[in-house]
Structure 1
Amino acid sequence: MSKFIQGTIILLAAGLVTRVLGFINRIVIARFIGAEGVGLYMMAFPTFILVVTITQFGLPVAIAKNVAEAEARGDTAKTKKILIVSLAITLILSLIFTPALLLLAPFLSEKLLTDPRTLLPLLAIAPVVPIIAVSSVIRGYFQGKQNMKPAAYSQLLEQVVRITLIAALTKAFLPYGIEYAAAGAMLAAVAGELVSLVYLLTSFKLKKKFRVRKHFFKYVHEGKSTFKQLMNVALPTTGSRMIGSIAWFFEPIVVAHSLAIAGVATVVATQGYGALTGFAMPLLMLPSFITIALSTSLVPAISEAKSKNNLRLIEYRIQQALRFSFITGGLAVVVIYVLSDQLMLAMYGSTTGTEFIKLMAPFFLFYYFQSPLQAALQAMDLARAAMINSLIGAVVKTAVIFLLASQPSFGITGVAIGILVGFVLVTLLHFATILKAISFTFHMREYIKIFVIMLATGYGGHWIMNNLFNSLSLITSILLVASILSITYAGLVLILGIVRKNDLIAIPWIGKALSKFAFK
């Protein structure tokens, strides 16, 4: 089995379990603190992502790419130098920006977010910055070696710890106020990240073939060429992520001010933003664990192929990633759209946010494409182009949000439309950049087939839901309809030959079982 397929499968399995556990976390939060509490949590969260992005400095992708190339040459000394220089950079940055977040938190909460209750959630996330800074370096190292197990297991541990603590902390802090409960949810996340880091460090200590502490400062001092190589990838990558993080940081600020212009009260704006970003968006983003797994495995796989100048393999890997993204994303869109009311009721006890799901679900196919395309650009040394694409998307998204959300006729729906415009535009720009960089064949017939399958299963699911299962219990109807849709969708995908024999034969326990069937 190829390392690309093997690593993707490991990350897929871990990602699925992690997302399920993450949904349990969100359900617990929503049940305990409601849309308003989730709104406070989500208004503070973009600040956390921005600080983490600055601290990581784009190094995880740079580490994975450079370690993969060093491993292909068998250069262990280079791998050690990459790791040491990366750790030095992230530790220094975390020591600068953690105190900065603590000092700026009052200003952010009162002046920019216009809701003083976001102060405690902002303060609660500060301790996690150095933890994630170090763990991201270790993850990048393992990904560069195309060993996805430590990263996968660490994610599972993080979610288990978080889900264990989140109910206790939110319940304990709720009597003091909704902002204290939101801060408790943040503290549970900090504890999860800490346990994840301990596991990664333990795995690294057991598997590494060199001593990191030996000649540490010597490697840092002599690591100028390594620093330059890392920065060639890290700077454009962090620029791209920084643009996304800054746009996300300003998003709740722009939303708060534009909704105020539209005459929406602060509490109502916080509730609406919580329904969109805390209820609807996580459900729509659930399938992204598949595209994230593909993207994580894609960077070292394409980097290795590029180091060998194997352009055909680069195109083949991108084709695989896009095809899998469309197949899985298409099924997710159908299931989420058909069962939107039932899923929201089952998870949150309310249909709040359902209108956003039905508006946004069809366009989320573009979102599922975005991660693999961006990973491919980064691995092909086109991170600068990806950064420019992200900048254009971020500017357009923010402008659309302000223009629409400030109109009383749109309100929070304008925010949803702005988010859609942003990621659709970035995905199209990424794909255009790929087409300019390499010879790429777009198999239009395959995508048309998938789209037809989506329409057929979606229409069938809607009819079944309205005519056969409307009298069943909520959970029973969800399970039955989701199962019927999934089986029908998968069957049509196989019958029409959209999944190729080479895709399956790379996975022994599946390829062996299906080798008797004639796949295209």
Structure 2
Amino acid sequence: MERPMTQTTSKLAKGTMILTITSLLVKILSAIYRVPFQNLVGDEGFYVYQQVYPIYGIAMTLALSGIPVFFSKIIAEKDNQLEKEEAIQTFYPLFVVLSLGLFLGTFFGGTCLARLMGDAKLSSLIRMTSFVFLLAPAVATYRGYFQGELQMAPTAISQLWEQVIRVATILLAAFFFTKTRMSLYQMGTWAISGAVLGIGAAYLVLVVYSRKQLKKEIRLPKITKMSKQSFKESVRNVKRFGYEGGVVCIYSAYLILFQLIDSFFIKNLLVRIGMSETQAKVTKGIFDRGQPLVQLGLVVATSLMAVYLPVLTKYYVTKRKEKFLFATSLYLRLTFVVGLAASCGLACILPFVNRGLFGSTAQNTALMIFVFAVFFMSLIQAYQTVFQSYSCLKPVLIAAFLGILGKLVAIVLLTKYFGINGASASTLLGLVCCVSVLHLCFKYSWKVTTFSAFFYLKLLLCIGIMGVILVLYKNGVGYLFGVNLKRMFALCLALMGVLIGATIFLLSILKLKVFSTREWLLIPYGKKLLSLKNRNGEKHEIR
């Protein structure tokens, strides 16, 4: 019995590593392609694409992460092949009904949605995006099945193919826009078509893998031939799907939901406070530059989540409460430290980043505010991971809805009085609402104090040291070279700023002992960092 268990654990660890690495590559690619895209089509073209992107993001969250994670859990619970096929018969129709409803709503309601966004010309992009929902149930079911069988390679390869084809199509559309007379909205429609081609490629990859590895294709039931009993069984599972699957879907797409709110409100509110239509579109396009920056900033947080979730789950299931609380406390504090440092550092060098990547320093203040979403979103992901490790879902759902409500209220009030800076701040306020509820629920559940006053004091001192040095660096460069820097030079200065900031911050947290020696040994690469500090006579501490 021990050998099969060891093989299963090894298979799970290997599969998780493959999926984690692929997910990180996909996230990096998803963030990076926006830079050349914006460079080719300009801020107004970027606005056109980003207005509709959240709809695609929601569709792909359902297809690539939300539903597959839920369904893989269902498959893992089944003991034999017959039960697994019955699970497909039960849940696949439910996925189809959800996706079909979203397709019909976005395709036939495309004009209405575009008008609500304040730009009727976006309707063709919305209709194009709607076709992604048609393939989402099949892709989600295949991925969930493979993940439930601990076969992560099909999921990883299909995700990579989807992203590569989508990005290639987007950049080709942008390139042809510069060479032809197509309008921004025609370009946007062609760019969005990459999402349809991408999910189609993912579907084909999964079908090939099912025939190759399972020696047969997974049979997906036809809705028109479902028995009355199967349909009733699907209805009885709506509650479980809505509750468990809903949590995964909402948090996988949480920042995308905030972007969707921005799409409906920012441009309209900017026009209402006196901007012209064109100026409002360009301003929204500049504001959207913050999205790839936040995505890149969240890569580290996503990596930490992948590392700590199985550890926390293992400690909780085996009832090792002391180790669970220690690992949880370390994970939350590590996320707090990394997220805050990344946000503050990025805010300090943002003028260089903005100039180097996007060609101007427009809306620096709004973007400096927005990048702090890295900090709050990192904490939200961390708390959600902790609650997920012991299957506590109610507080997570409540926190998510309160955060969205906070965003809705804040964006109307703050944009009205503070313009695009207020819109940027509304995202932070919504995230603060969510993370505050999660923190209070965790504290109430476990009666522990994760963040001590001494921890805050030492961390703020480290952040202050890094911030002062980076501000002096930025001002010194401005004094020597002025503000109108060449783009490549600005990008080099940004990278140099990252290196300076990271070095100063690491030395500071080591010197001020923000983490104990025991904690450093449990942090990824912590032993190597600690050995640098202890090279001169303190090596015995890390043995």
Whether TM exceeds 0.5 here: the answer is yes
Shift of 1:25: 1.4
Shift of 1:427: 0.8
- Larger radius of gyration, structure 1 or 2? 2
Matches within 5 A, 1:417-432: 417-432=425-440
CA distance in 2, matches of 1:506, 1:49: 32
The answer to whether structure 1 residue 388 and structure 2 residue 398 are counterparts is: yes
Shift of 1:143: 5.3
Matches within 5 A, 1:238-253: 248-253=259-264
395, 402, 424: which one aligns with 2:412: 402
Task: Considering Cα pairs closer than 8 Å and 6+ residues apart, tell me whether 1 or 2 has the greater RCO.
Answer: 1
CA distance in 2, matches of 1:114, 1:322: 40
Return 115-124 or 84-93, whichever deviates more: 84-93
The answer to whether structure 1 residue 176 and structure 2 residue 182 are counterparts is: yes
Shift of 1:356: 1.5
Percent of pairs identical after alignment? 20
Shift of 1:313: 5.2
95, 109, 126: which one aligns with 1:122: 126
Aligned to 1:369: 379
Shift of 1:308: 4.6
Shift of 1:250: 4.0
CA RMSD of aligned residues (A): 4.1
User: CA 1:36 to 1:63, structure 2 compared with 1: closer, same or farther past 3 Å?
Assistant: same
User: CA 1:20 to 1:54, structure 2 compared with 1: closer, same or farther past 3 Å?
Assistant: closer
Please tell me whether the aligned partners of residues 269 and 412 of structure 2 are also in contact (alpha carbons under 8 angstroms). yes
Shift of 1:478: 2.6
Which one-letter code corresponds to 1:97 in the other structure? L
Return 466-475 or 24-33, whichever deviates more: 466-475
Aligned to 2:202: 196
User: CA 1:247 to 1:328, structure 2 compared with 1: closer, same or farther past 3 Å?
Assistant: closer
User: CA 1:313 to 1:234, structure 2 compared with 1: closer, same or farther past 3 Å?
Assistant: farther
406, 420, 425: which one aligns with 1:412: 420
The answer to whether structure 1 residue 459 and structure 2 residue 468 are counterparts is: yes
The answer to whether structure 1 residue 490 and structure 2 residue 496 are counterparts is: no
CA distance in 1, matches of 2:210, 2:527: 33
CA distance in 2, matches of 1:514, 1:78: 50
Please tell me whether the aligned partners of residues 8 and 294 of structure 1 are also in contact (alpha carbons under 8 angstroms). no
Q: 1:254-299, CA deviations, whole angstroms, 9 ceiling, x for partnerless residues? A: 33333333122222222222211x2023213322123334446666
Return 200-209 or 371-380, whichever deviates more: 200-209
User: CA 1:314 to 1:267, structure 2 compared with 1: closer, same or farther past 3 Å?
Assistant: farther
CA distance in 2, matches of 1:214, 1:50: 23
Q: Secondary structure at the match of 1:108?
A: helix
The answer to whether structure 1 residue 25 and structure 2 residue 65 are counterparts is: no
The answer to whether structure 1 residue 279 and structure 2 residue 289 are counterparts is: yes
CA distance in 2, matches of 1:519, 1:107: 63
265, 286, 304: which one aligns with 1:254: 265
CA distance in 2, matches of 1:4, 1:492: 37
Q: Secondary structure at the match of 2:460?
A: helix
User: CA 1:480 to 1:240, structure 2 compared with 1: closer, same or farther past 3 Å?
Assistant: closer
The answer to whether structure 1 residue 518 and structure 2 residue 535 are counterparts is: no
Which one-letter code corresponds to 2:202 in the other structure? S
Aligned length: 512
Q: TM-score, normalised by structure 2?
A: 0.79
Shift of 1:324: 3.6
Shift of 1:399: 1.5
Which one-letter code corresponds to 2:244 in the other structure? V
Aligned to 1:59: 67
Aligned to 1:339: 349
CA distance in 2, matches of 1:52, 1:378: 21
CA distance in 2, matches of 1:26, 1:272: 16
Aligned to 2:535: none
Q: 1:125-151, CA deviations, whole angstroms, 9 ceiling, x for partnerless residues? A: 122223344334444455556665554
CA distance in 2, matches of 1:273, 1:63: 37
CA distance in 2, matches of 1:503, 1:24: 32
Which one-letter code corresponds to 1:134 in the other structure? A
CA distance in 1, matches of 2:248, 2:302: 16
Shift of 1:424: 1.1
Please tell me whether the aligned partners of residues 279 and 353 of structure 1 are also in contact (alpha carbons under 8 angstroms). no
Please tell me whether the aligned partners of residues 62 and 233 of structure 1 are also in contact (alpha carbons under 8 angstroms). yes
Which one-letter code corresponds to 2:502 in the other structure? S
Q: Secondary structure at the match of 1:122?
A: helix
CA distance in 2, matches of 1:243, 1:330: 19
Q: TM-score, normalised by structure 1?
A: 0.82
The answer to whether structure 1 residue 100 and structure 2 residue 105 are counterparts is: yes
Shift of 1:122: 0.9
496, 499, 508: which one aligns with 1:480: 496
Please tell me whether the aligned partners of residues 55 and 97 of structure 1 are also in contact (alpha carbons under 8 angstroms). no
